[in-house]
Amino acid sequence: MLSSIQYMCYRHKLILSSLLLCSVAFQNTFAETNLTPKDTLKLSLQQIWQQAELQNKSVKISQLKINSSLENLKDAKAERLPEINTGTKYARISNLPIYENGILNTPSYFPVLHNYFQLNTEASVVVYNGQKLKNQVKEEEVENQISSIEKDMTVSDIKFKATAYYLELERNLLFKDLVNANIHEQQKRLDQIRELFKHGVILRSDVLRAELSLSKQKMLLVEIENTIAINNQKLDVLIGLPENTFLNPSEDVKSQVDSIKLYDEYLTDAFSNAYGIRISEKETELKQLALKIVKSGNLPKVTAYAEYGYTYPQIFLYPYAGALYGLGQAGVKISYTLSSLYQNKHKVKSAEIQAEKQHLIHSNEEDALRVQVNEAYVRYNESLKRVKVSEENIHQASETYRIVYNTYFNQLALLTDLLDADTQLLQSKFDLTSAQIRAKLEYYYLMKTIGNL
């Protein structure tokens, strides 16, 4: 059996071995994560947004969709222009059999010119088709408007995502400063504790606890460094910068934008600017245009046309002649598809159902928007209150640490109490920084929800 003194010595050796291993692991890990960025850029949030809007690949894809939609619109407008056709034909014609005594008897053959040639040009334009072409042009215009809104929505989403990465990067940089300051403070405190131990005032266990606490903070610093590297790369890729570019945020997290508007005012802005609502409105307009296009199938089609052609030989009028002749004509064609009376009614009914369905979808989108705006508004105001509470907590934690610090070095408190007070103070500072960052993020989410980001 080990005596209590032997057991304490063994326990102290075990703790020292653990601290040595932690120190070696810390040094190796820190050596691996020590970043040497090629470039360092100090950018504001506005500059991050501008870079993202210019270089983000999702935004570029949205722009290509707009370009494609513009070409479709031009194509729809071109359908209203006259259609011009030209063609030529060459043929070999056989002799003409004439059955004078019936088809069962041998005919006599009338000699004809065997080479036949024709060159023809025709132009036509639709005068009336139940406004089908006009509605198709409007349909493409609405599609183009939807593509533009979708691009704006993509830009807004990318801006908010970049904001989240940017603020997260800034939060961890501030955490890094706090931890560095805490490590410096703990090192000074450890030196004081070692002095007390040399004079036999405290036990060796206090020194080991202080060293272990310092080692944990150094490991926490490594974790924060890794998180900074990950967030930095995410932001670089998102806004189209080289991955080894180190971004240094310049946003002041302490400056908050107070919610000076009421919920109803934000909701009014959302119904006017929110991207989802605007797209839903355009989708409803598209369904109405689709219904009109289907209904136009029940109406007559009026086409104005003109054509002119050269033919050889002249076999259009009798007597025939072995000569080239030209013939032109112009007029109006009117056609009506009688089968549309029974074939088109189901298409019309289906289009009416789709239009009614889209109205319900739009109404549902409005309800969802009310919920989103209310939640974003409440969460933002909640985040502002959290900042105030965190500021008060720091004052309390600072005072607690001051009291426990003085009582410990006067031998009136335990080291565990001092370490707990130090942890609470650092956590309070972390909480305040997180609350300030979250308040900014909640504000930008509110702006994104109402379509103002």
pLDDT band at 258 (very low <50, low <70, confident <90, very high): low
Q: Where are the beta strands (DSSP E) in 313-379?
A: 325-335
Query: Phi/psi class of residue 42: alpha, beta or left (left: φ > 0; alpha: ψ in -120 to 50)?
Result: beta
Strand 115-128 vs strand 245-249: parallel, antiparallel, or unpaired?
unpaired
CA 78 to chain centre: 33
Share of the chain above pLDDT 70, in %: 90
What digits encode the pLDDT tens for the residues 354-393?
999 999 999 999 999 999 999 999 999 999 999 999 999 9
The CATH number of 45-81+129-300+336-449, from 1.25.40.10, 3.50.50.60, 1.20.1600.10, 3.50.30.30, is 1.20.1600.10
Q: Using H for helix, E for strand and C for coil, what is the string for 32-74?
A: HHCCCCCEEEEECHHHHHHHHHHHCHHHHHHHHHHHHHHHHHH
Contacts of 239 (CB under 8 A, 6+ apart): 48, 51, 52, 55, 56, 162
Task: Report the chain's mean pLDDT, rounded to a whole number.
Answer: 85
Region(s) of the chain under CATH 2.20.200: 83-128+301-335
Helix (H) and strand (E) counts in the chain:
10, 8
Domain 83-128+301-335 CATH class label = mainly beta
pLDDT band at 397 (very low <50, low <70, confident <90, very high): very high
3-state DSSP call for residue 92? strand
Q: How many angstroms separate the CA atoms of 374 and 453, rounded? A: 17
Q: How many angstroms separate the CA atoms of 126 and 221, rounded? A: 75
3-state DSSP call for residue 122? strand
Which pLDDT value is given to residue 266? 92
**312 phi/psi in degrees, rounded to 5:** -140, 130
What digits encode the pLDDT tens for the residues 211-240?
999 999 999 999 999 999 999 999 999 999
**100 phi/psi in degrees, rounded to 5:** -70, -30
Helical pair 132-198 and 45-55, crossing angle rounded to 10 deg: 140
Instruction: Report yes or no: 143 and 69 within 8 Å, Cβ to Cβ.
Output: yes
Q: How many angstroms separate the CA atoms of 393 and 396, rounded? A: 5
pLDDT band at 256 (very low <50, low <70, confident <90, very high): low
What strand order describes the sheet that includes 83-92? 83-92, 115-128, 301-312, 325-335
What digits encode the pLDDT tens for the residues 70-105?
999 999 888 888 889 999 999 888 887 888 888 888
Question: Which H/E stretch holds residue 96?
Answer: strand 96-98
**41 phi/psi in degrees, rounded to 5:** -120, 130
Which pLDDT value is given to residue 203? 85
* Class of residue 172 by CB neighbours under 10 A (exposed 0-12, middle 13-18, buried 19+): buried
pTM of the predicted model over 0.85: no
